[in-house]
Each structure stands twice: as structure tokens, then as C-alpha cells.
Amino acid sequence: MKRFVLVCSIVLLGFAVAGCQDMRGRDIGTVTGAAAGSAIGVAAGGKVLGAVGGAVIGGVIGHQVGKGMEKKKK
């Protein structure tokens, strides 16, 4: 069972990486922030609510940082 979960995780990660090839800076910032926020929310002790709350907050912060990085490039 553990091997099945590992293989599925690797396949899904491959699809996720392939889908991110043409993303803009703010999109990448949003996804990265949401993933990091979700991990921090769970690590802080919140299960579902911590993950969702962390993902929302991290996504908003990541979006703003990505938008700022796009403006610097122009």
C-alpha cells in the first residue's frame, strides 16, 4: 500500500510540474505560497482548518509577491 501511494504521489507531482510550464510569476507565487502555507498550517497543529487557512493566507501573500516580481521585470 505504501508503494502504491508513493507511485501515485510521484505521478501526480509529474503532472503538476508539467502543468506549470507556462505560468506567470504571480501564478507561481500563488501556488508556492498556498503549498507552503498549508504545510505550515498543518505543522502548527491545525489539521484541516490549519491546512485550509494556511493555504489561503499563503496563496494571497504569494500572489502579491509574484505580482511585485512581475512589475520589477518590466
Domain boundaries, the chain: 26-74
6-64: pLDDT as tens digits = 777 777 777 776 766 677 778 888 888 888 888 888 888 777 888 888 889 988 998 99
pTM beyond cutoff 0.75: no
pLDDT of residue 60: 93
Place 72 in a pLDDT band, splitting at 50, 70 and 90.
confident
Q: What is the 3-state secondary structure (H, E, C) of the chain?
A: CHHHHHHHHHHHHHHHHHHCCCCCHHHHHHHHHHHHHHHHHHHCCCCHHHHHHHHHHHHHHHHHHHHHHHHHHC
